[in-house]
Amino acid sequence: MDASCLQYELTEAERLAFAQRGYLVFDEMLPPDVVDALVEVSDRIDAEERQKRGVGPYDRLTVRDMVWRDERYLDLVDWPRALPKIWGTLGWNIQIYHTVLAYSPAAEPGNGQVEMQGWHQDSDRVNHEIESSPRPRISVKMAYFLSDCSAVGRANFWVVPGSHLLDAYEIPDDGSLPRNAVPVLVPQGGAVLFDRRIWHSASSNVSAVARKALFYGYSYRWLRPRDDQTVEHLFERSDPIRRQLLGYAPTGGYGYTSPTDEDVPLRVFLRQHLGAEAAA
């Protein structure tokens, strides 16, 4: 990994905002040529999966475990503008544990009602079985937007800012919005980094613009991946830090909870370039 990525480290202002709100929006995360390339491959996969699953042209479609499907997806695992934001919130003992290609096509004519897809905190059983309050962060997601979602009604991601510090939140039974809920507005090529604990929901698309997004979930290495990840064949042609992020542990299972430098080359990188404190 090139040390030039260090210019994108999480700033103190970003760190404070993330701690308070539970999410950050980055308007410029992917350059236009990268967006175009990702749209090309994502459109193809979306079309193939719709035909294979019998999903209609106006229905939402998600494809999990997609990193192995194209080199352009693989490059986002350690995207230099994004990875420093990830280690800035979780530290160096991290891995990819969940990836999703999510398409919400343009609305069917006559459908103008924005509906929430279900308010929740990520990680399901983690929220029932870990004994602490507030619950620990454990994982974050970086969502890359391949289409312009800077206007309301484009299948926006909705959040309740600050709710990541609340173990429970009142969600109305009548379908109305929870108190303080806001849409996250992101331009094409932008991204959202969010804490898994924040109360959030996808929403329906009532616009003429298809919402196209990629979600990359990062967790501590000792957390079991949420997807059955097809990545082992990628280890050999990946550099050490990318291998770590893909889940490789050269010292075996013990290396997930008591890692050596061989297990976590990201720690070595941070120590070399930022000093011992950054790798503590």
Q: Is the pLDDT confidence value at 277 over 90?
A: no
Q: Which domain holds residue 117?
A: 3-250
Residue 131: predicted pLDDT? 85
Residue 102 belongs to some domain of the structure = yes
Residue 264 belongs to some domain of the structure = no
Rounded mean pLDDT of 45-66?
A: 96
Residue 177 belongs to some domain of the structure = yes
User: 161 or 117, which is more confident?
Assistant: 161
Tens digits of residue pLDDT in 135-192: 999 999 999 999 999 999 999 999 999 999 998 899 998 888 999 999 999 999 999 9
Give the total number of structural domains in the chain: 1
3 state SS for the chain: CCHHHHHHCCCHHHHHHHHHHCEEEECCCCCHHHHHHHHHHHHHHHHHHHHHHCCCCCCCEEEECCHHHCHHHHHHHHCCCCHHHHHHHHCCCEEEEEEEEEEECCCCCCCCCCCECCCECCCCCHHHHCCCCCCCCCEEEEEEECCCECCCCECCEEECCCHHHCCCCCCCCCCCCCCCCEEECECCCCEEEEECCCCEECECECCCCCEEEEEEEEEECCCCCCCCCCCHHHCCCCCHHHHHHCCCCCCCCHHHHCCCCCCCHHHHHHHHHHCHHHHC
Residue 110: predicted pLDDT? 65
Residue 174: predicted pLDDT? 86
Residue 28: predicted pLDDT? 96
CATH classification at residue 174:
2.60.120.620
Q: Is the pLDDT confidence value at 98 over 70?
A: yes
Report the first-to-last Cα separation within the chain, whole angstroms: 20
Weakest-pLDDT range from 69-73, 213-217, 274-278? 274-278
Rounded mean pLDDT of 246-253?
A: 94
Residue 138: predicted pLDDT? 95
Residue 29 belongs to some domain of the structure = yes
Residue 279: predicted pLDDT? 81
Q: Is the pLDDT confidence value at 113 over 90?
A: no
Tens digits of residue pLDDT in 77-95: 999 999 999 999 999 999 9
Residue identified by tokens 């993330």 is: 18
Residue 267 belongs to some domain of the structure = no
User: Dihedral of CA 143/147/149/150: which sign?
Assistant: positive
Tens digits of residue pLDDT in 196-244: 999 999 999 999 999 999 999 999 999 999 988 999 999 999 999 999 9
Residue 44 belongs to some domain of the structure = yes
Residue 1: predicted pLDDT? 87
- What is the percent of the chain with per-residue pLDDT over 90, rounded to a whole number? 87
Residue 38: predicted pLDDT? 98
Q: Give me the chain's average pLDDT, please.
A: 94
Which pTM value belongs to this model? 0.96
